[in-house]
Amino acid sequence: MATITALSTLTKVQTILQDTTGIRWPIDDELLGWLNDGQREVVLNKPEASVKNESVTLTTGSTKQTIPAAGIMLVDVVRNMGAAGSTPGKAVRLVTRDVLDAQRPDWHSDANTGNYIQHFMYDPRDPKTFYVYPKAPATALYLELVYSAAPTDCATTASTIGVDDIFANALLDYVLYRAYSKDAEYAANGQLALAHYTAFANAFGIKPQNEQSRNPNTTISNMAYNPAVPSGSTGASTGK
């Protein structure tokens, strides 16, 4: 949960920069903007830094679905949540689209006779889209989704940061990296900028590794319940 204000982090930045009056690096015109940039970098490298767990209504009569507009990638589909989004129902299981395509080529048009979703499919190359089987019914139906959302920008220094408090130190390093980069023509500042960016990057590791670890098709839990998937596969079996 985020409770730390932008001002709290940026005051520390000013202290380290020895610019507490904001002469060289204005707090509202520069530092706050870099803090917002840093929040987006945090979520890019650590999607769960701004994760949502919500009941989301499906597009009726379709297998193709999208996460909410603020979302940047799907993390998981948990369960059916009924016609009003508040009634827990059957679990939704991850399967691979290739298997359905091969065994039921017409699965996109299969009727939803049970009025609930059995399976979902996800491709990390299209992170805002997922498919469900059977297709959503003609009436309202909700699923409980876990998805990563874009962080809310801090409008003023009084705003609470848009990611969890645990990432405040990473944001501090990111803002310092951007501040020292402003005067990178001075050798010492260039080295300081690099040091702070390295500290920021080390907090998250390499982005492709993070993307792979957040891909619903290849998480450990999914593989454990889908033993038919070969090592290194990007999918899960359709065993029921």
Q: Sorting pLDDT into bands at 50, 70 and 90, what band is 225?
A: very low
Q: Sorting pLDDT into bands at 50, 70 and 90, what band is 186?
A: confident
* Residue range 39-52, pLDDT digits in tens: 999 998 888 899 99
- For 209, residues 6+ apart whose C-beta sits below 8 A from its C-beta are none
Contact 89, 80 (CB under 8 A): yes
Tell me how far CA of residue 73 lies from CA of 69, 201, 238, in angstroms: 10, 21, 23
- For 23, residues 6+ apart whose C-beta sits below 8 A from its C-beta are none
Measuring CA to CA, which residue among 42, 40, 41, 31 is closest to residue 9?
31
* Residue range 80-123, pLDDT digits in tens: 999 999 999 999 999 999 999 999 999 999 999 999 999 999 99
Whole-prediction pTM value?
Answer: 0.76
Task: Work out whether strand 129-133 and strand 64-66 pair parallel, antiparallel, or are unpaired.
Answer: antiparallel
CA dihedral sign of residues 224, 225, 227, 232: negative
What's residue 71's pLDDT? 96
What's residue 214's pLDDT? 61
Bridge partners for 54 per DSSP: 145
